[in-house]
Structure 1
Amino acid sequence: MNRQNAIIIEDEVPAARLLHSMVSRIRPEWNITILPGSVDDAIAWFASHPHPDLIFLDIQLADGNSFDFLSSAKPSSAIIFTTAYDQYAVRAFTVNSIDYILKPVDEQRLSDAILKYETLQDCGRPLPDDYLATLLDALQPRDKRYRTRFLISGIDRFWSLQVNDIAYFYSENKVTFAVTRTGQEHIIDLSLSRLMEQLDPDRFFRANRQVIVCITAIDHAEPYFNGKIVVTVRPPYKNKITISEEKLTAFKQWLNF
């Protein structure tokens, strides 16, 4: 087996380091690189570097789902999924991903997955032409019910906040806030990443690491520097909401859906 170039994309630094250590023990001759576990950073890296032979890819990244990374970066690499979520497992196996490993990663299980990858390589079996397309399809939710409301707790009462009343969410100092169309703010006990798993992607878009916007709250967008754009929402957000150049195509497709 030739020396392989492998990339680890994992949003939890300790988990990434542990996986790097395991792979290095199993295949010390491999060249292994850890990338920051965010969609934007991974897309930027793949846009400026040769694609590796193999990716160890977490399903849920810091600022979105691996679907966002795969659809934008379009890697030519084989993929082994490593994740704490098992909801995609059956579909991942049936669409010819090399393998699927649930966390916590067992070293023997990891070794078996690497051996499976090498066996396919030694047999000269190329990735199917529709390899990436079928992986993307497998990562799409099936018959998913999206969240419609949140329970909000006050000092002496609690009430239901309807998702239809929310203009955008933002994160500040590791606290998530929902901002209503009338400008009221409420603390939501979920990270932005977890929210994106529960919100309807036709209505909500992860603009960046700090903000999720609802399509009906967008007033307009205008060019910014370095290929970015700035989105203006109503009610106004206290900072600029920027969309990176890497996310711009996905954002335009979302607006035009």
Structure 2
Amino acid sequence: MNVLIIEDEALSATRLQNLINRYDPEINILAKIPSVRESVQWLGNENHVKPDLIFLDLHLEDDLGFRIIDELKLTIPIIFTTAYSEYTLRAFKANSVDYLLKPIDQNELVSSLDKFKSLEMKRSSAPDLAAFISSYLTSAGQDTFKERFLATAGTKMFSIKTVDIAYFIIEQKATFLRTFDGKHLAMEYSLDKVFQLLDPKLFFRVNRSLIISLNSIQVINSLSAGRLKLELAPSTAQDVYVSADRIANFKQWLGK
């Protein structure tokens, strides 16, 4: 398998290469490219080996990675890698196999590569892999949002309906959920994984430690310098602010 890594942080690119090689030492990393401009040139060069799969960081040094897809009309399968969760829906419309949030977890990378291999094996029944992936994601996306989460309190286990959850929060490096009726329960999922399982129309990740339900928002306070402070129900122990880089997407989410 030939893989292209498009990532503007050298350390992240090297770490990703190491994780990929740990999964399968036979995978050939064709190149590690840091920018949209260089990626367009590299992929447009007919002398270069065409990658079977691209790992694409969304925030590159000169633009968003989506521009590469738009300029070249790419149909090569892509696994997106990013520190931001706001572009999930747009990514899944762009021939995406998966969407990995940084720092990339080895187990989640394995899952993504296994998914790609599974899709590739089915090419005999779907000659156009890109079309197959698009069809697969469209049909799968209709029913992949979790309706319940398993959570614990001490030795007790609870099955909690997603509609009853006000928010998911990281506290002392562990993930918890808080229900509208005040239950505070521990979870085994990472917050990154939780977000992948939620309907993005109903939940939004306002910062690195908190995913909120639309129905949990009571008051939105507009502060100086464009900052947003939220009042949630149930209330949180700490003040809740929307990260500066997520404010525009948060407002767009509220307006849907």
Shorter-chain TM-score tier: 0.5 to 0.7
Cα deviation, residue 162, structure 1? 2.1
Residues of 2 paired with 1:139 and 1:242: CA distance? Answer: 33
Q: Which residue of 1 aligns with 2:165?
A: 166
CA contact (8 A) 1:176 1:191 kept: yes
Same amino acid, percent of matched pairs? 21
Could you say which residue in structure 2 is the equivalent of 1:219?
Answer: 218
8 Å CA contact 1:60, 1:66 repeated in 2: no
- AA at the equivalent of 2:15: A
Cα distance change, pair 89–225 in 1 and its aligned pair in 2 (3 A): farther
Question: Where does residue 94 of structure 1 map in the other structure?
Answer: 130
Cα distance in 1 between the residues matched to 2:147 and 2:252:
24
CA contact (8 A) 1:63 1:192 kept: no
Deviation at 1:50, TM superposition (A): 5.2
Q: Is the 8 A contact 1:63 1:208 kept in 2?
A: no
Cα 1:67–1:163 change in 2 (3 A) is closer
Shift of 1:184: 2.5
* Residue type of the alignment partner of 1:94: A
Query: Distance in 2 between the 1:245 and 1:140 partners?
Result: 34
Matched residue, 2:231: 232
1:222 Cα deviation (Å)? Answer: 2.2
Structure 1 unaligned regions, length at least 5: 1-5, 35-41, 72-78, 101-133
- TM-fit CA distance, 1:57: 6.7
* Aligned 1:1-257 pairs, distance under 5 A: 7-8=6-7, 15-16=15-16, 18=18, 26=30, 32-33=33-34, 46=60, 49=62, 58-59=79-80, 61-64=82-85, 67=88, 84-85=111-112, 86=115, 93-94=129-130, 142-257=141-256
TM-score for both structures, normalised by structure 1: 0.56
Change in 2 beyond 3 A, CA 1:89/1:159: same
Give 1:227's aligned amino acid: G
Aligned pair count reads 200
- In 2, the alpha carbon distance for the partners of 1:140 and 1:252 equals 28
1:91-141: CA deviation from partner (whole Å, max 9, x where unpaired): 99426xxxx9xxxxxxxxxxxxxxxxxxxxxxxxxxxxxxxxx9xx96895
Question: Which has the higher relative contact order, 1 or 2, with Cα contacts under 8 A spaced 6 or more apart?
Answer: 1
Residue 225 of structure 1 and its aligned partner are, at CA, apart by: 4.6
Check the 8 A contact 2:203/2:213 in 1, yes or no: yes
Cα root mean square deviation, aligned: 4.8
Contact 1:171/1:211, CA 8 A, preserved across alignment: yes
Task: Map Cα deviations across residues 122-168 of structure 1 (whole Å, 9 max, x no partner).
Answer: xxxxxxxxxxxx9xx96895322322222334445433222222111
| Partner SS for 1:206 | strand
| Aligned-partner residue type, residue 85 of structure 2 | G
- Residues 192 and 12 (structure 1), Cα distance of their counterparts in 2 relative to 1, 3 Å cut: farther
Structure 1 140/63 Cα, relative in aligned 2: closer, same or farther at 3 Å?
Answer: farther
TM-score, scaled relative to structure 2: 0.56
Task: Give ranges in structure 2 of 5+ residues lacking alignment.
Answer: 36-56, 70-76, 100-108, 121-125
